[in-house]
Structure 1
């Protein structure tokens, strides 16, 4: 299966695009850079892993993507707290990040069950 066909990649790509759109006017460039990077890291690492040849590398990059979900969810909470992200938007992003994280957890379990090469 191509990564573009995977729901987890599609949802994480949509989330990343939403973050970029919502924060395009934010002037705190340090925060904006960090949160957009963590959001972008999720679909990017899924894609990179699935373009690799070995199951070990697929697992590694899916694991990195899962870690980026946690990073993004934390940054979203901070963004809400400091007033950069409207609470309803941020709560939606966190909810979506948690769904994506669970999907990645399931993907990691499936990859761990396969023979590694």
Structure 2
């Protein structure tokens, strides 16, 4: 974590931002605009991925960061479940679903890997320097 100056430097945050934008593009290009309940949920949960990564980073301690990364990973799972609902309601084509779901899977795996790295790190965070 020492060589990262900001959460924007984290590849996992950048990937989460792309996912959030993909969801917004889905909203703009489909009838999801008419399904306020589902739109509201998937918008919040996809935004929660990037927001929790940022908040955890700003806590300056690995234990808290890991906790927020866990929440971000869970939000990614929630978003993926809601993406299935979008598919079932025909708001997107199976190919587009597959593309976004793949990005979500990769994001979850990256978050899990980063959590493992932080758990095994001897450095405990900026606030302990």
Is the structural similarity TM-score above 0.5?
Answer: yes
Which residue pairs with 1:23 in the alignment? 27
Which residue pairs with 2:18 in the alignment? 14
| Correspondence 1:15-54 to 2 at 5 A | 15-24=19-28, 26-54=33-61
1:77 to 81, 84, 96: 84
Q: CA RMSD in A?
A: 1.4
Which residue pairs with 2:68 in the alignment? 61
The C-alpha deviation readout for 1:26-84, integer Å capped at 9, x for no partner, is 11100000011111111110000001122111011001000011111111112101112
Q: Which stretches in structure 1 are left out of the alignment for 5+ residues?
A: none
User: What is the aligned length?
Assistant: 117
TM-score (norm 1): 0.92
Q: Give the superposition deviation at 1:4.
A: 0.8
TM-score (norm 2): 0.84
Distance, in Å, in 1 between the alignment partners of 2:60 and 2:53 is 13
1:105 to 89, 101, 112: 112
Q: Which stretches in structure 2 are left out of the alignment for 5+ residues?
A: none
